[in-house]
Structure 1
Amino acid sequence: MRRPFVDLLEANLEHAAEFDARFDGVQESQHPDVVTVCCSDSRVLQDHLWGNDEPGHVFTCANIGNRVVQRTDAGEAVSGDVLYPLAHTGTEAVVVVGHTGCGAVTAAYDRLTDEDENEDAADASEPAGITHCLDLLTPRLEPGVDRLPAGLDRADAVNRLVEYNVDRQVAFLRESDEVPGDTGVVGVVYDFQDAYSGRRGEVHVVNVDGERSVETLRVEHPDVESRIERLWEH
């Protein structure tokens, strides 16, 4: 058995000792306050980034590109991972969590800008599952690529598209008839690249229920004014 997994098992014993009594109130059911949709990136620690150590508090979803969209026989739909807590556990808030340096956004950007000179070959070399995920992401980023300010290097362009992607995912949720109309939808970016002000690991609010203006958001949400920041108000 590979040592990294053995290490995980050993760490799990510590977790079990700490959390044993914390499951008393949630053994039979769950009623999480919020569902988060994060990128499945090893640098984005979903529960840890919120300081969450309470079972039943946060319903966590993850995929490459923090997408809320899945493709069905009937067309595109809100991912069942996101809809489940909204439909069955009384959850009334969704948080879409993008992050700086997102590999999925970078891959989509390269596709759209031909920075990968062998795009077709690169796609052919990817497993079908990864290509499928990028096929869902790329069309949503294409208008954003066209609007990017001139003169950005690749890293800066990607980090602005991270925000743009969060905006598109928030918009999809808000426009869907499957999502209850009173659901609160917030878009944030988790920064570990010093792209925003503040410390690495801070979450920056970029979108609340479709509103993207930093000035407006700070007026409407003074309790989190210092956490509202955007790289790009497109």
Structure 2
Amino acid sequence: MARPAGRSDMDETVLEMLDRNADHAETFDTRFEGLEHEQHPDAVTVCCSDSRVLQDHLWGNDEPGHLFTCGNIGNRVVQRTGAGPRVSGDVLYPLAHTNTDVAVVVGHTGCGAVTATYDKLTDGSAEPPGIEHCLDLLAPGLESGVDRLPAGLSREDAVNHLVEYNVDRQVEFLLDSDDVPESVQVVGAVYDFQDAYDGKRGEVHVINVDGETDPDALRAAHPEIDSRVQRRWTY
């Protein structure tokens, strides 16, 4: 049902978005050749839908067809089904249907969904039902992380430790799923805009590759990304 008429003019934000889209269409008009009817993205990325995380831009991507980008609060790969928790169809689709063989789970510092789940687990804080549904998908994985947090952490540090822990749990869920082909490489990373890691704001730090989380082991196994491997919490 349409809302009662209450505004005579389109919101300025929408007008600005449409203006920017016109510029986008002018630039991208010729970039869809060969993609009109099919796609074969090189990777699927699962990012938090936080407005500060520009999901394609953080990879410098302006190439249609290159990345299959999923976004939700808490960069979750899990959804509820009648058969129990399963890999979300948003994430699974390219792995099952477009020959995509790389999945990258990207958490970020200061994640609001991780913060809200931390509050839910530690003091019972409640959210509206739609948000609660999302937090309930994160909570089973984060509960053990809350119990393992080092003593004396500030709230901000506790959340950023759990950001890594959440990425690890999402990677683990993908690796354990029979629906995800064994040929798929699964990478976990954290996007930092809080100076929580050594490096520039906006850098992506690799924390997990196919379930390996030890930084020294990761650097030894993947020397080509030596400088990009960094963790705050090795538990």
Task: Confirm or deny a common fold (TM above 0.5).
Answer: yes
Q: TM-score normalized by structure 1?
A: 0.95
Q: TM-score normalized by structure 2?
A: 0.95
Q: Which residue of 1 aligns with 2:6?
A: none
1:64 alignment partner, one of 73, 80, 92: 73
Whole-angstrom CA distance in 2 between matches of 1:74 and 1:90: 25
Matched, 1:181 2:190: no
Offset of 1:139 from its aligned partner? 1.4
Mapping 1:1-234, distance limit 5 Å = 1-114=10-123, 119=125, 122-123=126-127, 126=128, 128-234=129-235
Whole-angstrom CA distance in 1 between matches of 2:60 and 2:96: 26
List gaps (5 residues or longer) in structure 2: 1-9
Offset of 1:39 from its aligned partner? 0.5
Partner SS state of residue 129, structure 1: helix
Offset of 1:148 from its aligned partner? 0.6
Whole-angstrom CA distance in 2 between matches of 1:51 and 1:25: 21
Going by fraction, where is helix more abundant, 1 or 2? 1
Whole-angstrom CA distance in 2 between matches of 1:148 and 1:101: 16
Q: Which amino acid aligns with 2:208?
A: N
Deviations 1:63-90 (A, max 9, x none): 1100000001111000000110011101
Offset of 1:160 from its aligned partner? 0.5
Partner SS state of residue 22, structure 1: coil
Partner SS state of residue 47, structure 2: strand
Whole-angstrom CA distance in 2 between matches of 1:141 and 1:24: 43
Runs of 4+ in 1 over 3 A off after TM superposition: none
Whole-angstrom CA distance in 1 between matches of 2:135 and 2:111: 12
Offset of 1:25 from its aligned partner? 2.0
